[in-house]
């Protein structure tokens, strides 16, 4: 049995909530404490919170909800990037500016989706100007 599965079983016996997150991410105590509450996706407070988040993102972007909408994706950044690239019109030409693994991944996704893609690589320790 894996170490992770043993850990999960121990937590369940202790009735502790656990938060499993991908990647090298630190999670603050305040976030962990919020994970103790179970809110269903059809509950009014959940729907209200999602609406507020969508509105706030449009406000931060300084665009009107008359012309724009914010669509939230549940998943990794790669999942979201693939969804965005996959929504481009067929035969689109894509130029990826890459200064590291994430730019390289965008290029790989665009090639797998059969777009006419080009990549321009930059030093990973310098901001693309």
How many domains, in total, are found in the chain? 3
Predicted structure pTM score? 0.57
What sections of the chain are H helices per DSSP? 3-13, 29-34, 44-61, 77-86, 101-112
3-class SS of residue 93: strand
- Whether residue 88 is predicted with pLDDT greater than 60 in this model: the reply is yes
Task: Report the pLDDT averaged over residues 51-59.
Answer: 95
DSSP 68: -
Task: Report the pLDDT averaged over residues 11-36.
Answer: 68
Which residues form the domain of 24?
1-38
For residues 89 and 106, membership in a common domain is answered with yes
For residues 31 and 54, membership in a common domain is answered with no
Quick one: pLDDT at residue 114? Answer: 93
For residues 125 and 98, membership in a common domain is answered with yes
Instruction: With cut-offs at 50, 70 and 90, classify the pLDDT of residue 4.
Output: low
126 vs 57, higher pLDDT:
57
Torsion, CA 101, CA 106, CA 108, CA 111, rounded to 10: -160
CA distances to 20, 29, 30, 44, 56 from 40, rounded to whole Å, are: 19, 22, 20, 9, 22
For residues 93 and 105, membership in a common domain is answered with yes
For residues 64 and 77, membership in a common domain is answered with no
Contact 54, 70 (CB under 8 A): yes
- Whether residue 24 is predicted with pLDDT greater than 60 in this model: the reply is no
Quick one: pLDDT at residue 94? Answer: 95
- Least reliable range by pLDDT among 7-16, 87-96, 119-128: 7-16
11 vs 44, higher pLDDT:
44
| d(C-alpha 15, C-alpha 9), whole Å | 10
């Amino acid at each position: 049995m894996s170490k992770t599965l043993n850990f999960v079983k121990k937590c369940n016996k202790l009735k502790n909530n656990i938060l499993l997150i991908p990647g090298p991410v630190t999670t603050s105590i305040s976030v962990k404490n919020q994970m103790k509450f179970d809110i269903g996706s059809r509950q009014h407070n959940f729907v209200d919170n999602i609406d507020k988040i969508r509105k706030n993102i449009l406000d931060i972007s300084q665009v009107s909800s008359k012309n724009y909408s914010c669509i939230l994706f549940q998943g990794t950044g790669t999942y979201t990037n693939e969804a965005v690239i996959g929504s481009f019109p067929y035969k689109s030409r894509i130029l990826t500016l890459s200064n590291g693994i994430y730019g390289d991944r965008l290029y790989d996704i665009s090639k797998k989706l059969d777009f006419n893609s080009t990549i321009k690589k930059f030093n990973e320790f310098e901001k693309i100007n």
